[in-house]
Structure 1
Amino acid sequence: MCRGLASFPSSCLEKAKGMRVKISHLAERHEWTHKYRASEKVLPDLEALLSNKVGLQAFQWFLRSEFSEENLEFWLACEDYRRSEESQLGTKAQCIYSRFINSEALQEVNLDSETRESLARVTEDPRADAFDEAQQSIYSLMAKDSFPRFLRSAHCQGVLKTL
């Protein structure tokens, strides 16, 4: 009779969870593809991709597969920071600095030394626009580097074939 999920080895359960995640990504890709086919757009630009939930998830998935998601994660953290209450800016600035800017950060982003130096003082006087220059720099880097790779990727090409 039915023995329940507890009788399955944990490795099988983990594989099932992984398959569920992949299936949900396929469903999201279909939704993203359908939206762009309906509007007669072949490809979105980076701005449109980042403002579209499904497109953003597809881009995140691609970047994770390349182990290069730190730029997008930084950009998203800056978006969140800019929309935060003033009382939260100090804490969030410190978090962003330690996670992405600090030279020992695990997800260090590629910023020029001048920008990096100006951000070293951001936690002392956090302002809503404190990360704007760095965020724009990372956006430009994504637009020139990772976004074109995403468009040429098998992941994106698979989505485009269904158009």
Structure 2
Amino acid sequence: MPQLCFEELSQWSHSLERLLTSKCMLIFYKAFLKSEYSDENIEFWLICEEYKKIKCSYMMSTRARKIFKRYIQAEAPKERDNTKKYRRAHRFGLMEKDSYPRFLKSNAYRALFDAT
């Protein structure tokens, strides 16, 4: 893992969007969410971000069905109790207001500062 400087670590505390643009910090954040049993939020958000990049309508349709089966339909493996309410923006909002602030206060995030 590359050495991170204090300035880099600090910039990710300004917004979830900034944090998600860093592949390195995304790894830490995903690990944090997994430790809190809420990693399906970031998984869903990331898969939707990838979906937005698809240009082929056949691939879009195929991927949409996979996303639906895994995250949205009743009894889906990654379904939450209130999955029907979730949309990409809603999941981002959940992370931004809930798990992201906890991540910034976590020992895992603070340990990154100690390592710089």
Could you state the TM-score of these two structures normalised by the residue count of structure 1?
0.62
Partner of 1:98: 69
Percent identity between the aligned chains? Answer: 33
Match of 2:60 among 89, 96, 109: 89
Change (3 A) 1:150 1:84: same
**Equivalent residues of 2:19, 2:26 under 8 A apart:** yes
- Is the contact between residue 12 and residue 18 of structure 2 (CA under 8 Å) also seen in structure 1? no
Alignment RMSD, CA only? 2.4
Query: Is there any run of 5+ residues in structure 1 with no aligned partner, and where?
Result: 1-26, 117-133
Between 1:78-87 and 1:38-47, the stretch displaced more is: 38-47
Check the 8 A contact 1:71/1:142 in 2, yes or no: yes
> Per chain length, whose mean CA-contact separation is higher, i.e. which structure has more relative contact order (CA < 8 Å, sep 6+)?
2
Q: What are the ranges of 5 or more consecutive residues in structure 2 without an aligned counterpart?
A: none
Aligned length: 115
C-alpha displacement at 1:106, in angstroms? 1.6
Q: Conserved in 1, the CA contact under 8 Å of 2:9 and 2:113? A: no
> Which structure would you say has the larger Rg?
1
Residue 88 of structure 1 aligns to a residue whose secondary structure is: helix
TM-score (norm 2): 0.84
